[in-house]
């Protein structure tokens, strides 16, 4: 008891700055250790030869790691991305490393409903089956804006685009059953207290908190959609899941902040966030 009281009093007693730095470092190390110890890592080596997979947002962060994992296991992959040139470079590297020549890069802009339809049309012109659809792409933005379809941009990318993509690929997935739809949601959906269905463009939104409110709403919509989809698909052989991947250092959020705060968040997340190998535990299992 005496030792505990000594530690606690030392924690909060005015100390030299170096002691605070050491304390902060120790706390971060403990958090990192906790993440390491409680984190499941996918160790599956199941081959996926013959399985056709679409992954949105597979040119960076989580999507890229998942794409690489599936490539090494032999899946035929369609990288659905807005920056085709960058994705082709990543594709070539992954193909060379894994020996998988069945990785294709196709353009999609999830903020454009036409682009989603064009992507599906092109995909279905060459493929008759789809085993796994990974709705992973996501964005966070400081300011509200509207797409050419008149939808709020974050909502369009994170939810409406994936909703449409899933809906128009559903018949193909039913024909390919057993098949699986995985959507990358976020724990931040907890901050969404209610969805105002008559204001999905956030015109009347009073909080003005563009990043959190719209992002959280878009992820809540994605989760609710997935849950309803899973119910309706019961017995068809198509399964639908949404997953929170954990905290990963990525560009989606960092770009929202001013450079000084971005640097701080980057340094913090580098210390405690998951690594590439840990990321794939949630999305690439089985
Ligand atoms: N990082 C985390 O800690 C965390 C936590 C919870 C949930 N998530 C979710 O996990 C998913 C992946 O995030 P991440 O951390 O890997 O982020 P990231 O590295 O920024 O990747 C986001 C991906 O989405 C793509 N994308 C952005 N706008 C798009 C659009 N309009 N159309 C099509 N694709 C678009 C990006 O392509 P370009 O690079 O070419 O723009 C990129 O490949 C997101 O849905 C995110 O909300 C992340």
C-alpha to C-alpha distance for 92 and 106, rounded to whole angstroms: 14
Do the Cβ atoms of 178 and 233 come closer than 8 Å?
no
Residue 34 lies in a domain: no
Check pocket membership of 249 for ligand 1, CB cut-off 6 A.
no
Which among 64, 76, 73, 62 is positioned nearest to 132, based on CA atoms?
76
Q: Which atom of ligand 1 is nearest to the CA of 63?
A: 16
Q: Which atom of ligand 1 is nearest to the CA of 109?
A: 32
Which of the following is catalytic: 20, 107, 215, 260?
215
Identify the DSSP state of 146: B
Is residue 107 among the annotated active site residues? no
pTM: 0.86
Which among 244, 245, 233 is positioned nearest to 277, based on CA atoms?
245
**pLDDT tens per residue across span 34-87:** 777 766 677 788 999 999 999 999 999 899 999 999 999 999 999 999 999 999
Residue 30 lies in a domain: no
| CATH classification of the domain holding 168 | 3.40.50.720
How high is the mean pLDDT of the chain?
Answer: 86
Residue 259 lies in a domain: yes
C-alpha to C-alpha distance for 101 and 81, rounded to whole angstroms: 18
Residue 23 lies in a domain: no
Residue 25 lies in a domain: no
**pLDDT tens per residue across span 111-165:** 999 999 999 999 999 999 999 999 999 998 878 899 999 999 999 999 999 999 9
Residue 197 lies in a domain: yes
Residue 2 lies in a domain: no
Check pocket membership of 248 for ligand 1, CB cut-off 6 A.
yes
For residue 148, what are the domain limits?
46-283
On the CB side of 38, CA atoms within 13 Å amount to 9
Q: Which atom of ligand 1 is nearest to the CA of 83?
A: 40
Contacts of 202 (CB under 8 A, 6+ apart): 144, 152, 210, 213, 214, 217
Q: Tell me if residue 233 falls in helix, strand or coil.
A: coil
Q: How many domains does the chain have?
A: 1
Pocket test for ligand 1, best of 252, 255, 270 (most atoms within 8 A of CB): 252
Residue 51 lies in a domain: yes
User: In three state form, how does the secondary structure of 93-126 look?
Assistant: HHHHHHCCCCEEEEECCCCCHHHHHHHHHHHHHH
C-alpha to C-alpha distance for 82 and 114, rounded to whole angstroms: 13
**pLDDT tens per residue across span 206-241:** 555 556 889 999 999 999 999 999 999 999 999 999
Q: What is the pLDDT of residue 13?
A: 58
Check pocket membership of 79 for ligand 1, CB cut-off 6 A.
no
């Amino acid at each position: 008891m005496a030792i505990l009281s000594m530690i606690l009093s030392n924690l909060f007693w005015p100390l030299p700055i170096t002691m605070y730095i050491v304390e902060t470092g120790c706390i971060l190390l403990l958090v990192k250790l906790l993440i390491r110890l409680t984190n499941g890592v996918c160790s599956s080596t199941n081959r996926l030869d013959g399985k056709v997979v679409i992954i949105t947002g597979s040119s960076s962060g989580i999507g890229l790691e998942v794409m690489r994992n599936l490539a090494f296991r032999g899946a035929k992959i369609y990288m659905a991305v807005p920056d085709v040139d960058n994705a082709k470079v990543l594709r070539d590297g992954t193909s060379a490393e894994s020996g998988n020549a069945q990785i294709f890069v196709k353009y999609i802009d999830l903020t454009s409903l036409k682009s989603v339809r064009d992507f599906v049309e092109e995909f279905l012109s060459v493929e008759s089956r789809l085993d796994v659809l990974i709705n992973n792409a996501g964005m966070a933005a400081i300011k509200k804006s509207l797409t050419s379809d008149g939808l709020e941009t974050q909502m369009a990318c994170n939810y409406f685009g994936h909703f449409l993509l899933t809906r128009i690929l559903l018949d193909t997935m039913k024909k390919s059953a057993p098949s699986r739809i995985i959507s990358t949601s976020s724990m931040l959906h907890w901050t969404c207290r209610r969805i105002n269905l008559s204001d999905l463009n956030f015109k009347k939104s009073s909080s003005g908190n563009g990043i959190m409110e719209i992002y959280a709403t878009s992820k809540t919509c994605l989760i609710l959609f997935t849950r309803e989809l899973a119910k309706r698909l019961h017995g068809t052989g198509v399964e639908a899941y949404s997953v929170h991947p954990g905290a990963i250092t990525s560009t989606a959020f960092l770009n929202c902040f001013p450079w000084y705060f971005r640097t701080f968040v980057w340094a913090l997340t580098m210390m405690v966030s998951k690594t590439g190998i840990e990321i794939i535990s949630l999305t690439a299992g089985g």
